[in-house]
A and B are shown apart, each in its own frame.
Chain A
Amino acid sequence: MTGRAFIPRNWRGFIFPVAAILVIEVAMRTIGVESQSLARPSEILRAAIGALADGSMLTATFQTLVSAFGGLIIGGGIGLVLGILMAMFPPLYWIAEVPFETLRPIPSIALLPLVLLIFGLGFAMEITLVAKTALWPVFFLTLTSVRGVKRRLIEFSSLIRMGLLERMAKIILPAALPGIFLGFRIAMGAALIVAVTVEIAANPLGLGYAMMLAQERLQPALMFAYLFWIGIVGWIFNALTVLLQKRCFAPRQSGRAAT
């Protein structure tokens, strides 16, 4: 999950996919495949351009992103607050351990029938499931990074009689920020995955549903176009956060290690 291997450092990484696409295109043209489940790369590209041009792909992307980020903000927010509270007051964490560890291993998608019963189809149930997923990485990374703030810094802040809120804002949160950001980054990857999964399994919204619909309507070119688009969207968001993380936290992290 480091992301360093995501960006091919040199052009050689591109040779294989480009060659594969060309071979598939030529092979399918010479054999003359007419299939309801296969499509030539050129047809996939045309379908993608068509869906982008008429706006349907962008609408679907927007719906998926609303669910993913809605859930990320709600679940991540809850995880952040719980993480800070339980790091500051350890007994809170010790006492909540059993209920937490009971709920955590339940796969989000197994809660699908339940949220379907409560909310019906739509954004609410999808956001709920994404939030359940996004909560844990943010919670655990907040917990460990707030706990990891140097004892000396906290002693110093009580020495100069900083209040709890001020201490939080000026000392603890800035020191724990790289860890918290990492939690949000992991949660974002999971959020996109859960959103698409929920859309494929049940919810008539977003990229996952658009892909299912293309399959049901026997439009393999469009189906593959959505598959690659989902991959590209995931890749873009991951690359963006990796970049952001490097920009904002790389020097501070090394500085922290030196104190």
Chain B
Amino acid sequence: MRPGRLYWLGASVLFTAALLAVWQLASDFRLVSPVFMPSPLRAWNALVFNFTEGVLGQRVLLTLQHMFFGWLLASAAGVAIGALIGISPFARTYLAPSLEFFRPLPASAVFPVAIAFIGLSENMVLFVIAFGALWPTLLSTINGFATIKPRLDEFARLIGLSRWQYIMQIALPNALPDILAGMRLSLTIALILSVTGEILSGSPGLGHWILLQARGFRSPDLFAGVLLFGVIGYASSQLVALLEARLLRWRGDSFGRM
């Protein structure tokens, strides 16, 4: 930690408070239109009110559900398919280049196709989230399998590991940093696709809720919803970081010296 880190963090919090105060004053004196920019106090009150009296808490849960289940499906499928392809140099040579085509493709472009097949439904949204969030995990798993050190391969052959043992004891742990990095990106994509899916299909959730607030010109409620998205985004990335720290602890400091 940098010396004086806490001191500067405090200063930064104060600076934020000052910004909020300026914003509050600006809206009190009507320097900005309250249609677009509600005062921070009104946004905060809207947040508290919608949580205690309204459906906001339930909507947040629905969005978290979309995101989490889609991500879980994508991660499970990504690691499984990635391991199947990654373990075989043959499959890697013939399949991986085709799969790379999906990496730069906007995941949201799958929405029209999924709507044509499934229709505007809850399942459609879940399918697109899972499909769109699949690619980072899948591709990074393949990559993690492809970069196993030859020495480890030789060692595995020497002690006579079976294919399954090789996957579980050598390949997966070795690919874990790549897999987790892919899963982190998948989670971000899952959140984005949840919002997009809710806006498109009208399936209830925080994304659909903020759209309704905007249509009704209820800007304090809209800001409250947007703030919650910030919280969800921050909390989920912290969660994956925690998971990474925990799962990769075994590597310790010795990893570089292996």
Tell me the A residues contacting B by CB distance below 8 Å: 5-6, 8, 10, 12-17, 20, 36-37, 91, 94-99, 101-103, 105-114, 116-118, 189, 192-193, 196-197, 200-202, 208, 211-212, 214-215, 220, 223-224, 227, 230-231, 234-235, 238
Stretch at the interface among B76-84, B88-96, B152-160, B244-252: B88-96
Residue of B nearest to A110 (CB): B229
- Distance between Cα atoms of A193 and B108 in the complex (Å): 8
The 20 sampled A-B contact pairs (Cβ below 8 Å) are: A5-B143, A16-B95, A17-B101, A94-B9, A95-B11, A106-B233, A110-B207, A110-B229, A112-B195, A114-B226, A197-B108, A197-B196, A200-B112, A201-B199, A214-B112, A215-B113, A223-B112, A223-B116, A227-B109, A231-B109
Q: A97-B9, A113-B213, A192-B106 are in contact. Are A224 and B226 (CB under 8 A)?
A: no
Contacts of A117 in B (CB 8 A): 35-36, 214, 217, 219, 222
Contacts of B188 in A (CB 8 A): 107
Q: Which of A98, A106, A118, A202 contacts B12 (CB 8 A)?
A: A98
Contacts of B113 in A (CB 8 A): 37, 215, 223-224, 227
Number of B interface residues, CB 8 Å?
61
Q: Which of A17, A108, A114, A215 contacts B116 (CB 8 A)?
A: A215
B71 at the interface (CB under 8 A from A): no
- Distance between Cα atoms of A114 and B226 in the complex (Å): 9
Q: A95-B12, A105-B234, A110-B210 are in contact. Are A13 and B98 (CB under 8 A)?
A: yes
Q: Which 3 A-B pairs have the closest CB atoms?
A: A13-B97, A105-B233, A113-B214
Contacts of A214 in B (CB 8 A): 112
Stretch at the interface among B13-21, B44-52, B165-173: B13-21
Q: Which of A17, A110, A224, A230 contacts B105 (CB 8 A)?
A: A230
- Distance between Cα atoms of A119 and B65 in the complex (Å): 31
Q: A95-B12, A102-B16, A106-B230 are in contact. Are A231 and B101 (CB under 8 A)?
A: yes
Contacts of A107 in B (CB 8 A): 188, 191-192, 195, 229, 233
- Having A10-B93, A200-B112, one finds 15 other A-B pairs with CB under 8 Å, namely A16-B97, A94-B9, A98-B16, A101-B234, A105-B232, A105-B233, A110-B225, A112-B211, A114-B223, A116-B214, A200-B108, A201-B199, A223-B116, A224-B113, A227-B113
Contacts of A118 in B (CB 8 A): 36
Tell me the B residues contacting A by CB distance below 8 Å: 8-9, 11-13, 15-16, 19, 35-36, 93-98, 100-113, 115-117, 143, 188, 191-192, 195-196, 199-200, 207, 210-211, 213-215, 217, 219, 222-223, 225-227, 229-234, 237
Contacts of B231 in A (CB 8 A): 105
Q: Which of A99, A101, A113, A208 contacts B108 (CB 8 A)?
A: A208
Q: Tell whether, in the assembled complex, residue A113 and residue B222 are in contact, meaning their CB atoms are under 8 Å apart.
A: yes
A248 to chain B, nearest CB (A): 21
- Distance between Cα atoms of A110 and B234 in the complex (Å): 14
Residue of A nearest to B218 (CB): A117
Q: Tell whether, in the assembled complex, residue A197 and residue B192 are in contact, meaning their CB atoms are under 8 Å apart.
A: yes
Contacts of A16 in B (CB 8 A): 94-95, 97-98
- Distance between Cα atoms of A125 and B113 in the complex (Å): 25
Q: Which of B35, B98, B217 contacts A17 (CB 8 A)?
A: B98
Q: Which of B35, B116, B192, B213 contacts A36 (CB 8 A)?
A: B116
